[in-house]
Amino acid sequence: MRQVMLPMEKVAVKDTFTLALSCRNQPGLVARVSTFLTASGADIVDLQQYTDPISAGFFLRAEFKGSTPVAELQTGFAPIASECEMECRWRSPGYVPKVVLLVSKFDHAFGDLLYRMRIGEINMEVLPRSAITRAKR
């Protein structure tokens, strides 16, 4: 079996902002978020939401393009977030999460993740296992 090694290239930087939020479910949440983003000049390219039927928790993740700085978006969205008791995480374009990959003895998932990172499908920086800090007992 011949192995083909792809050259490590810099992962393409995403050009989208990300908003991830959670709160108690209530009517109109998707409309409020999408209306705010659109009014701020955002072009929503992906929006996913989920409501947990047991806890009635609402979870939303929106990816959007725009030129409004995150600080300005956070300030403008603060009244909605406060009223709905939302926990929000905003990410600017170019944000690269740092991850440590822990795998079992089977390497297929590990190889797939590295391949997806290499081709730009997953934007992440893989840290060495030594980056994990253990809590003192």
| pLDDT one-digit tens code per residue, 97-131 | 888 887 776 667 788 888 888 887 878 888 887 77
Is 7 a residue whose pLDDT tops 50?
Answer: no
CATH number, domain of 74, equals 3.30.70.260
The predicted structure's pLDDT at residue 42: 94
Domain span including residue 44: 17-91
**Phi, psi (5° rounding) for residue 95?**
-65, 130
Give how far the C-alpha of residue 10 lies from the chain's centroid of Cα atoms, to the nearest Å.
Answer: 19
Q: For residue 30, is it within any domain? A: yes
For residues 44 and 79, membership in a common domain is answered with yes
Beta strands in the chain (DSSP E): 17-24, 43-51, 57-65, 87-91, 98-99, 125-126
Higher pLDDT, 133 or 111: 111
What domain count does the chain have? 2
**Within 10 A of 88 (CB to CB), how many other CB atoms are there?**
18
Low-confidence winner among 40-44, 58-62, 106-110 (lowest mean pLDDT): 106-110
Q: For residue 7, is it within any domain? A: no
Cα end-to-end distance, the chain, whole Å: 47
Is 47 a residue whose pLDDT tops 70?
Answer: yes
